[in-house]
Structure 1
């Protein structure tokens, strides 16, 4: 039997469609697709170019701008990687590598763009800003938790990631300033962890415990899922007089800033609304990267989407039933400002 010659056919060359995704688009269209205007995209490229520039001589290597566009499209839509690859005309493996590289680069900027007020000047500015909201004194930030869905990580950690609403998640704790910018974020705890435990173990919780026992240095506002501490004011569950009612009203009106902040954040980056089909460690980096981008958008003057007050769905608050050693501070605060 004669041998049949084998011919290796060269794969047909395919041209990427990445640049076509921005050509001819005005700023409004760019924001709808990538959440940033043309000028802000240029700033982002300048920030990340030294990290993402490919050290290769290949003619068709992805530029820094192209990598950023792919990643922003993924974060803004929450689409599957295959859909993102089809949109830009690149292979799914390339999409995965690009998203990992860009998210890691943005994650590395977290200490530059997410800052907690630690200096006297920063605290004074924060307390003045919050006081203008509803007359609540000495507030340096609002704190709350929200849950980000993720795919089951499998055994042996599967049960730890099931929250009180019976889906797998990461419990994300964040604080924000008067303008709705994140000033701290902890996104490494499984969904079954109580908000009070996350706060106690977080860097911001330890900082406040060590440096803010004096109420004059300011406090956070949190819901009843947190303990009442000298540096963390919580609402009164059963107010007994008008002064306590006024305290609760001012507390709720001011603390709602963190709820709206979560709403804008999740509305802007839809990946935070869907089930992220990645391992928890990678989800943590995506969450922090979205927080950095959220603060960048405010700093660079990008408009925020319209958000309903009930946009952020999260498990019902489980009231804290441990020691409430901040009650004395809270009672003195009510006597001084709300009687």
Structure 2
């Protein structure tokens, strides 16, 4: 599962007393493959994801594979989430899921450490979104050039409860992963 891309959203940019909801998809090398920066920070993670182009492409089967998301998302056939009350086999799945998901949180941390301006932008929300996307692109350039990464603070707690319900087919696929790889 360590090669699966992970999805995360975060109120990562503050601009003139408003926060911007940021959604990123990245891989285990902390390279960002998708970024959405246009929503107010008050919008829930699942809402941002459901309105995104990547959600549309995944739900219509245009991309193969799965994303890993935290409990803020409903389990879907293309978005696997942790078990809320794991038994013996799912505990190993949840552990592998959390280790892989930590890469996304590390990517947020690297992005903020690399570009301190993202902690507090004093520009309009629209401009803050543009700056955030530009920083994500420059972050990818730094990763691909193997630039030395800045020191990242410890990870924050990102494992919140789901607001959107799980999809039965998503749960079946997650159960199949547990049977195939964690039993």
User: Same fold by TM-score, threshold 0.5 exceeded?
Assistant: yes
CA-to-aligned-CA distance 1:97-137 (integer Å, 9 cap, x gap): xxxxxxxxxxxxxxxxxxxxxxxxxxxxxx7xx35xxxxxx
What residue is the counterpart of 2:162 in the other structure? 319
| Alignment match, 1:248 | 94
TM-score for both structures, normalised by structure 2: 0.92
> What are structure 1's unaligned runs of at least 5 residues?
1-126, 132-138, 153-167
**4+ residue segments displaced more than 4 Å:** none
Structure 2 gaps, min length 5: none
**More contact order relative to length (CA 8 Å, sep ≥ 6):** 2
CA distance in 1, matches of 2:45, 2:103: 18
* Greater share of strand: 2
The equivalent residue for 2:125 is 280
How large is the Cα RMSD of the aligned pairs? 1.9
Largest Rg, 1 or 2:
1
Contact 1:259–1:309 (CA under 8 A) maintained in structure 2? no
In structure 2, the residue matched to 1:123 is none
* 1:264 corresponds to 2:129: no
- Preserved contact between residue 75 and residue 165 of structure 2 (Cα < 8 Å): no
Report the TM-score when normalising by structure 1: 0.51
Give SS of 2:60's match: helix
From 27, 46, 55, the equivalent of 1:177 is: 27
Q: What is the number of residues matched between the two proteins?
A: 181
Aligned residue number for residue 50 of structure 2: 200
**Matching residue of 1:307:** 152
* 2:175 alignment partner in structure 1: 331
Deviations 1:200-259 (A, max 9, x none): 11111111111169xxx310011000110000000001112x111111011101111001
Q: Given the alignment, which residue of 119, 137, 145 partners 2:9? A: 145
Deviation of the 1:278 alpha carbon: 1.4
